[in-house]
């Protein structure tokens, strides 16, 4: 063809802001508007287009062309990266004027940081960090040391973060996060990014010194400035802290990944440096904003410290390479929010780096649980997971079997016993690793996985039990390995205990995730109560066995935990659980009484009953028979007789308070357990008062309104009584 058709000729309409798309070698543009128009006229009301790949279901993926909500191609400014560059969208240098160049580069750095934070929060690389044209064509910046080295270190950082999240492999959160198809993430020479950055930093430091000394000389000699730029110093400072922040961030990511936690202390130092550089970055905002007055295009999204629009970004250029469907446009986080994100990330990483790497499974589990309370994001959680589970060992050091024997209260010699080669022991080790990994995932996903896991733990217990019986069942066995017997016995008990621990966490997470409505609380507390009783029982058994082992006494009475001798001191761990058992029971009974006395209205669904709710809520637990012989019927039997007159006689809340107080004496050196026990005491006290009030006047005063809040404890509700 001799001449390229314009858009108007090709489409019959002028598409604003677009240069025409050239025809390819084997293709030619043809105007099909008359054909489409004719086809529309031809279809009668109710007629549908059918095709092999266009059935009713498949057709839902169809897009309406030129509808900006669906057709992301329509909002493109440039058809391709080449076109964008040809049109000066990403100039190198950004400006011929040195000061403007620096100012613009600072804006680019800020916007990139905002893009990075947006990426971390769950969007794709293509729409965030790689909306930066300078990153999309790495070679272009080679003539500009500052821009080039900054791009390199950003890429290297993103690559490091991506590999951590990708290695953590939770298979859900990170699907969008790890998509880097077609993006230049690994560029030759990026490993040397720090040396390049250091060189640039050195240059700018010299410039800063020159600025300072020249201004000092001016003051001293009262010389009029000839052609100095008073802003030069401010820009140098702003640049330096940004460069240093990036340097320390990169160092941090490298240190924290060193195997077996060897780099954690160093990582903390870099975290501290990052935070201090951040302070400088924030301080520079005022200066940047002031000197940018009227100099640039207003940044509506406010993604830079100066308030200026950053040059060289276009999120739409990658949309064609983003599979499977063109992505919806996303909003980049504001500068303020990006800074907040990174500060939190640094704080969360610091908590991880400060961890003592206690060689105990229980300690590791407690650490993760506590860490999750601060709601860390994906990047922090992935780092924790990779620290905890490396090469099939805890912190890359402690083999799983050793961890299990220690947790089960077995003596040190057992950790090398041959029994660990048993296929079910190997499977158990896998379950423990999975548990640790899953506890590092986001709580919503975590709860589902914990629920599914229950059956696996139950099955392994059955399998181990069968193996145990097979090994020691026949009394006439010649070689009776006493140690092997002990290992099996205690591991079996520990598996049961751990299974109930998982069940308990599954249940209580429902509160944090707001899965329960107030009408569900009664049955949930009842179930928590039954699970806690089992957990306390198993915990007590384990402790009793340990003490028996330690003292090397002959026979130890293996009785239920209720049997407390006169001089017997109940272990703190059991008291801790018992206080919660009474609290759960008290709440369950209180709810039951309120329902039975019609102070709380039971929901009346036209489609199902409380029975179906019960089945659904506890489906995974009952599938795993945790505990056995639990049914809706047993729940009803326990609760249907509760009323105000008999409830006041059962002092569940008072008992919970008393036991919590006793437990506190066992945990004087454990601040976490102490604060938990204090919370339990508070809830018990408030509910005790509320219960008394309800029971005394509830039957007479029908205007009583009872509501529930989680003001003292995230799981155990506090009753609030009011007269309406």
Partner 1 sequence: METSAKGEGVGKVEKVEFDASEIEYVSYGGEHHLPLIMNLVDQELSEPYSIFTYRYFVYLWPQLSFLAFHEGKCVGTVVCKMGEHRSTFRGYIAMLVVIKPYRGRGIATELVSRSIKVMMESGCEEVTLEAEVTNKGALALYGRLGFIRAKRLFHYYLNGVDAFRLKLLFPQPELHPSLPMMVDKDDSHKHGDHRHSVE
Residue ranges that bind partner 1, judged by CB under 8 A: 45-46, 48, 56-57, 59-64, 67, 69-70, 121-122, 172-173, 175-176, 324-325, 327-328, 330, 442-445, 447-448, 513-517, 519-520, 603, 605-609, 611-613, 615-617, 619, 622-623, 629-633
Q: To the nearest whole angstrom, how small is the minimum distance from the Cβ of residue 139 to partner 1? A: 32
SS (H, E, C) 617-629: HCHHHHHCCCCCC
Select 90 or 162, whichever has its Cβ closest to partner 1.
Answer: 162
Contact present, 443 and 374 (Cβ < 8 Å): no
Q: How far is the CB of 374 from partner 1 (least distance, A)?
A: 16
327 vs 698, which CB is nearer to partner 1?
Answer: 327
Smallest gap, in angstroms, from Cβ of residue 528 to partner 1?
17
Residues making up the chain, counted from first to last: 724
Half-sphere exposure of 206 (CA within 13 A, CB side): 5
Report how far residue 51's alpha carbon sits from residue 58's, in angstroms, rounded to the nearest whole number. Answer: 10
Give the distance from CA 80 to its chain's centroid: 36
Q: How far is the CB of 210 from partner 1 (least distance, A)?
A: 46
Least gap, CB of 58 to partner 1 (angstroms): 9
State which H helix or E strand residue 693 sits in.
Answer: helix 671-697
173: its two tokens: 């959160």
Instruction: Give strand pairing partners of 708.
Output: 719
In the complex, the smallest distance separating the C-beta of residue 666 from partner 1, rounded to whole angstroms, is 35
Side-chain-side CA neighbours of 39 within 13 Å: the count stands at 7
602: left (phi over 0), alpha (psi -120 to 50) or beta: beta
Q: Which is nearer to partner 1, 86 or 175 (CB)?
A: 175
CB 341 within 8 A of CB 120: yes
CB 335 within 8 A of CB 302: yes
Terminal Cα distance for the chain, rounded: 84
Minimum distance, C-beta of residue 55 to partner 1, in the bound complex (Å) = 9
Minimum distance, C-beta of residue 593 to partner 1, in the bound complex (Å): 23
User: Whole-number minimum distance, CB 67 to partner 1, in Å?
Assistant: 7
Residue 199 token pair: 């060189």
Residue with smaller CB distance to partner 1, 283 or 328? 328
By beta-carbon proximity to partner 1, the closer residue of 154 and 318 is: 318
Q: Which is nearer to partner 1, 24 or 324 (CB)?
A: 324
Q: Considering beta carbons, is residue 449 or 654 the nearer one to partner 1?
A: 449
- Rounded to whole angstroms, the Cα distance separating 243 from 248 reads 9
Please report how close the Cβ of residue 352 comes to partner 1 at its closest, in angstroms.
21
Nearer to partner 1, 263 or 327 (CB): 327
Question: How many C-beta atoms lie closer than 10 Å to residue 682's C-beta?
Answer: 17
- Give the nearer residue to partner 1 in terms of CB position, either 289 or 452: 452
Q: How far is the CB of 122 from partner 1 (least distance, A)?
A: 5
- Nearest distance in Å: CB 611, partner 1: 7
Nearer to partner 1, 69 or 262 (CB): 69
Min dist. Cβ of residue 513 to partner 1 (A)? 4
Give 529-596 as a DSSP string: HHHHHHHHHHHHHHHHHHHHHHHT-S------TT---TTPPPPHHHHHHHHHHHHHHHHHHHHHHHHH
Specify the residue, 209 or 633, whose C-beta has the smaller distance to partner 1: 633
CB-CB contact of 653 with 661 (8 Å): no
Please, which residue, 117 or 408, has the CB nearer to partner 1? 117
Angle between helices 378-388 and 145-168 (to 10 degrees): 60
Rounded to whole angstroms, the Cα distance separating 284 from 278 reads 10
Cβ proximity to partner 1, 59 vs 290, nearer residue? 59
Residue 5 contacts residue 29 (beta carbons within 8 Å): yes
- C-alpha to C-alpha distances, 332 to 108, 116, 166, 281, 299, nearest whole angstrom: 13, 9, 23, 19, 12
The answer to whether residues 472 and 437 touch, using CB atoms and an 8 Å cutoff, is no
Residues 6+ apart with CB under 8 A from 302: 334, 335, 336
Cα distance between residue 697 and residue 333, in whole Å? 54
**Closer CB to partner 1, residue 487 or residue 600?**
600
Q: What sign does the dihedral 394-400-404-405 (CA atoms) show?
A: negative
- Give the distance, in angstroms, between the CA of residue 13 and the centroid of all CA atoms in the same chain: 49
Shortest approach of partner 1 to residue 245 CB, angstroms? Answer: 26
- In degrees and rounded to multiples of 5, residue 719 shows phi and psi of -85, 140
State how far the Cα of 507 lies from the Cα of 447, in Å rounded to an integer: 8
Q: Minimum distance between the CB of residue 444 and partner 1, rounded to whole angstroms?
A: 4
Closer residue to partner 1 in complex, CB, 568/607: 607
State the residue for tokens 């010299």. 206
């Amino acid at each position: 063809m001799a001449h390229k058709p314009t858009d108007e000729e090709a489409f019959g309409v002028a598409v604003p802001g677009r240069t025409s798309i050239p025809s390819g070698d084997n293709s030619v543009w043809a105007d099909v508007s008359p054909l489409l128009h004719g086809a529309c006229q031809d279809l009668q009301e109710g007629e549908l287009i059918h095709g092999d790949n266009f059935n009713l279901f498949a057709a839902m993926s169809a897009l309406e062309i030129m509808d900006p909500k669906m057709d992301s191609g329509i909002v493109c400014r440039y058809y391709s990266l080449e076109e964008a560059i040809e049109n000066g969208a990403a100039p190198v240098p950004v400006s011929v004027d040195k000061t403007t160049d620096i100012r613009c580069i600072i804006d680019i750095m800020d916007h990139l940081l905002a893009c990075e934070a947006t990426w971390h929060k769950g969007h794709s690389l293509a729409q965030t960090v790689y909306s930066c044209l300078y990153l999309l064509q790495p070679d272009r910046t080679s003539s500009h040391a500052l821009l080039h080295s900054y791009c390199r270190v950003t890429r290297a950082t993103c690559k490091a973060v991506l590999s951590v999240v990708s290695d953590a492999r939770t298979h859900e959160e990170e699907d969008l996060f790890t998509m880097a198809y077609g993006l230049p993430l690994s560029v030759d020479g990026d490993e040397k990014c720090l040396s390049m950055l250091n060189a640039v930093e050195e240059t700018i430091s010299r410039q800063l010194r020159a600025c300072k000394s020249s201004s000092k000389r001016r003051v001293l000699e009262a010389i009029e400035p000839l052609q100095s730029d008073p802003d030069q110093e401010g820009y140098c400072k702003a640049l330096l802290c940004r460069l240093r922040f990036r340097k320390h961030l990169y160092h941090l990511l490298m240190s924290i990944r060193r195997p077996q936690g060897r780099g954690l202390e160093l990582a903390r130092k870099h975290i501290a440096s990052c935070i201090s550089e951040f302070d400088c970055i924030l301080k520079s905002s005022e200066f940047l904003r002031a000197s940018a007055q009227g100099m640039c295009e207003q940044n509506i999204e406010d993604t830079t410290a100066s308030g200026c629009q950053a040059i060289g970004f276009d999120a739409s250029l990658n949309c064609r390479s983003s599979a499977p469907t063109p992505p919806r446009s996303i909003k980049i986080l504001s500068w303020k929010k990006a800074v907040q994100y990174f500060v939190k990330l640094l704080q969360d990483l610091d908590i991880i780096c400060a961890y003592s790497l206690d060689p105990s499974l229980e300690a590791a589990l407690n650490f993760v649980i506590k860490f999750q309370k601060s709601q860390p994001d994906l990047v922090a959680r992935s780092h924790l997971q990779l620290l905890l589970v490396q090469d099939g060992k805890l912190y890359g050091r402690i083999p799983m079997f050793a961890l299990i024997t220690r947790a089960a209260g077995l003596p040190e010699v057992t950790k090398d016993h041959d029994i660990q080669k048993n296929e079910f022991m190997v499977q158990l080790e896998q379950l423990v690793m999975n548990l640790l990994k899953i506890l590092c995932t986001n709580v919503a996903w975590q709860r589902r996985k914990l629920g599914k896991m229950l059956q696996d733990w139950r099955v392994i217990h059955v399998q181990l039990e069968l193996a145990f019986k097979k090994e020691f069942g026949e009394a006439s066995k010649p070689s009776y390995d006493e140690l092997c017997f002990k290992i099996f016995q205690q591991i079996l008990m520990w598996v049961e205990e751990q299974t109930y621990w998982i069940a308990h966490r599954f249940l209580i997470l429902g509160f944090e995730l707001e899965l329960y409505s107030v009408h569900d609380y009664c049955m949930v507390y009842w179930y928590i109560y039954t699970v806690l009783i089992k957990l306390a029982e198993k915990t007590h058994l384990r402790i009793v066995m340990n003490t028996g082992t330690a003292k090397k006494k002959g026979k130890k009475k293996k009785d239920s935990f209720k049997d407390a001798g006169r001089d017997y001191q109940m272990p703190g761990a059991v008291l801790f659980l018992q206080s919660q058992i009474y609290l759960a029971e008290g709440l369950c009974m209180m709810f039951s009484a309120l329902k039975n006395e019609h102070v709380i209205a039971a929901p009346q669904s036209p489609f199902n009953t409380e029975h179906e709710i019960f089945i659904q809520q506890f489906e995974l637990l009952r599938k795993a028979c945790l505990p056995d012989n639990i049914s809706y019927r047993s729940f009803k039997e326990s609760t249907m007789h509760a009323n105000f007159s008999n409830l006041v006689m059962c002092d569940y809340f008072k008992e919970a308070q008393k036991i919590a107080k006793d437990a506190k004496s066992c945990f004087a050196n454990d601040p976490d357990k102490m604060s938990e026990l204090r919370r339990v005491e508070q809830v018990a006290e408030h509910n005790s008062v509320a219960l008394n009030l309800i029971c005394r006047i509830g039957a007479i005063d029908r205007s009583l309104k009872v509501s529930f809040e989680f003001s003292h404890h995230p799981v155990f509700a506090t009753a609030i009584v009011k007269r309406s």
